[in-house]
Structure 1
Amino acid sequence: MKIVIAPDSFKGSLTSVEASKIIDKALKDFDPHIETVQIPMADGGEGTVDAVLWNRGGDMVSCRVCDPFGRIIVAQYGWLEEKKTAIIETAAASGLPLLDKAELDPERASSFGTGELIKEALDKGAEKIILGLGGSATIDGGTGLFQALGVKFFDENLNELSWLGGRLDRISAMDPTGLDPRLPSVKITIASDVTNPLLGSDGAVTVFGPQKGLSASQLEIFEKGMRSFAELVARQTGKSMVNEPGSGAAGGIGFLMRTLLVVEFRSGLEMIAEMAGLAKQLEDADLVLTGEGRIDGQSLFGKVPVGIGRLAKGAGVPVIAFAGSIGPGTEHLEYEGVNVVMPMSEGPTSLSEAMLHSEKLLYNASMRLMKIVRIGSMA
């Protein structure tokens, strides 16, 4: 039996690489003769660097940058020396995991640190940059990122604004002439499975604002500021990218990347699947195991397990997905190639307890699954 192991991260507890190793160990402990292929996955968000480095090799580079509030931290990005390629996650310097839930504040949070990571990669000689958009704590329209790369923003009195954060209504002018001159010669690929536009009911503020700390009363204020900023950018550049798919990714970073640079948007999942040769591995696979922290009806919109299900369905391979928690709508996943969603829990427990013991729970769930598979093969 050949089993392809292709999980996403179980956010807050296990990376996709760690989850893949745990599932693999359980399968080998159950039956050493099972052939396994580990292909840790990501969708452009947290875990993208780990997944790319696992599947393609390379090194992790550490550097000192600003976190969402301007505090100095050590963040990492991936580096493929042979390809002169940097793999950067917005989550590494500007991500939600860097902040406690009580301190979430999109008004202060800036993507400046992500721009610093890009600058570090340029200094290292990057000829290609893969930027994973996902997991950001920011709704700054990418202004912080581009400030780190030389773009200036001004208030109504033409005073330069330093640390902007998410109050985009303060911007009255933009000067992009200082943009790092090395960027136009670098191939930039945006890895993201978020297809939201910048504005409106499906936009960066409305959809992602609440999880980043916006209250219901703040949504209209931030949406108005984002709209005002988008109009200013359109006037100055002659480009309107607000409705382009992915412009709302990572708090609007996708919007300004599309406007000020020449970039290619790709599905993070499809990009990593291609790097790892997933299609080839599916040709003779008997089963695919995937999973993530929570699976529900929303998983249909760009989540890794469903993406894996669709790829495997085309190859005629069944898929089982492990889930830390299960919500409404999972019955619809079967039509997308995810045949079974298997919970990891072993009884009533709190989220914090489940996350604390996630390694053990995933191992045990994998063992239970293999016993079911064995019974099925005997029938």
Structure 2
Amino acid sequence: MRVVIAPDSFKGSLTAAAVCEAIGVGVLRAAPDAEVVRIPMADGGEGTLDCIGAATGGQEVRLDVSGPLGAPVTARYLLGADATSAVVELASASGLPLLPPDGLAPLRADTTGTGELIADAVHRGARDVLVCVGGSASTDGGTGLLRALGARFLDARGRELPPGGAALLDLARIDLDAVSEAVRATRFRIACDVTNPLVGPEGAAAVFGPQKGATPAEVELLDRALTRFADVLAEECGTSVHHLPGAGAAGGTCGGMLAVLDAAALPGCELVAAAVGLPAALVGADLVITGEGRLDRQSAGGKVVSHVARLAAEHRAPAVVLAGQLVPPLSPLHDLGLTAAFSIADGPRTLAEMTRSAPALLADTAEQVVRLRAS
């Protein structure tokens, strides 16, 4: 019996690798002779770097860079084994968890640190850079990232704008003369798991601004600032990203990279699955087990479990999701190829109790699933 385990992390509880190990324990209790293939997954957000690094190797590079408000932070990225490729995780340098809950600054936070990681990778020879953009603290359109690569954002008097999204209200011109030939020669891909446009009621400021500390008035200001940014990008770079699906990811970072760096935005799950070799691992699988902390309507919209279920269906393998919480309806996931979903909860528990007991609960539930399959 060949069982492929390919879950996302359980946020705030277990990494994807730890989920794999716990499920594997249960699988082998039920079927000691089973061939168990463990493939930790991610959707392009936090944790993606570790998943790809575990599967492909390479060198983890640690670097002191600018945090979301300029204070130094130690961040990391993955340099490929041949140093011609790199994986950069925005959350490592510019993520929301780097700021205290009472220290959020939605108007001033920026992505400079992520750009500094990219600049270092390019300096070391990387010409294929995958940027994973989940979990940002800013709504700056990626201007901090682009500034670290040589771009300048100027007002009508030719003065450089200060960091942050609010300053883009005064943007008049973008100067790209200092962007190096090495950066221009680099292929940039963006792993993102949202389809929000840059501006408007479903845009970066409106949808994600509040979780970064923006008040309703600040959301409105940031949306106007990003609109101005998009207007200038269209004038100077020839690319309109106002309503481009996905351009609003990571506070508009995706939009800025698409226009200035000619980056390609792709679903994070697909990029990660390809990088870790999931399609090949599913060949000959008798059972596929995936999982995430909360299975709900959003899970069908490009999250790990939906992509794993779709791939499993293509290989005619049953796919089962284990989750801490199930929120119906689950029919959209079934339509994608999911066979069944099970909560690991064994009775009324607090969130803290569930978090502490997650490995044992995953193992117990996986054992019961495999017993049914192996019978």
For this structure pair, what is the TM-score category when the shorter chain's length is used for normalisation?
over 0.9
Q: Would you say the 8 A contact 1:344–1:362 is kept in 2?
A: no
Deviation at 1:278, TM superposition (A): 2.1
Tell me which residue corresponds to 1:370: 367
Deviation at 1:165, TM superposition (A): 4.3
Q: Equivalents in 1 of 2:288, 2:367: separation in Å?
A: 12
Deviation string for 1:270-297 (max 9, x for gaps)?
A: 2222233322322211111111222101
The aligned amino acid for 1:283 is V
Show the 5 A alignment for 1:149-228.
149-228=149-228
| Structure 1 residues 123 and 353: alpha-carbon distance in aligned structure 2, compared to 1, 3 A threshold | farther
Tell me which residue corresponds to 1:37: 37
Deviation at 1:231, TM superposition (A): 0.8
- CA-based RMSD of the aligned residues comes to 2.1
TM-score, normalised via structure 1 length = 0.92
The aligned amino acid for 2:66 is C
Gaps of 5+ in 1: none
Tell me which residue corresponds to 1:47: 47
Deviation string for 1:196-224 (max 9, x for gaps)?
A: 22122322122222222223343222211
Gaps of 5+ in 2: none
Deviation at 1:83, TM superposition (A): 5.2
Q: Would you say the 8 A contact 1:111–1:140 is kept in 2?
A: yes
The aligned amino acid for 1:366 is A
* SS class of match (1:137): coil
Q: Would you say the 8 A contact 2:107–2:218 is kept in 1?
A: no
Tell me which residue corresponds to 1:257: 257
The aligned amino acid for 1:317 is A
TM-score, normalised via structure 2 length = 0.92
Tell me which residue corresponds to 2:299: 299
Tell me which residue corresponds to 1:79: 79
The size of the alignment, in residue pairs, is 375
The aligned amino acid for 1:2 is R
Q: Would you say the 8 A contact 2:51–2:276 is kept in 1?
A: no
* SS class of match (1:255): helix
Q: Equivalents in 1 of 2:8, 2:236: separation in Å?
A: 40
1:6 equivalent in alignment to 2:6: yes
The aligned amino acid for 1:69 is L
Deviation at 1:156, TM superposition (A): 4.2
Q: Equivalents in 2 of 1:373, 1:69: separation in Å?
A: 49
- Identity of aligned pairs, percent? 39
Show the 5 A alignment for 1:127-166.
127-166=127-166
Tell me which residue corresponds to 2:67: 67
Q: Equivalents in 2 of 1:217, 1:348: separation in Å?
A: 41
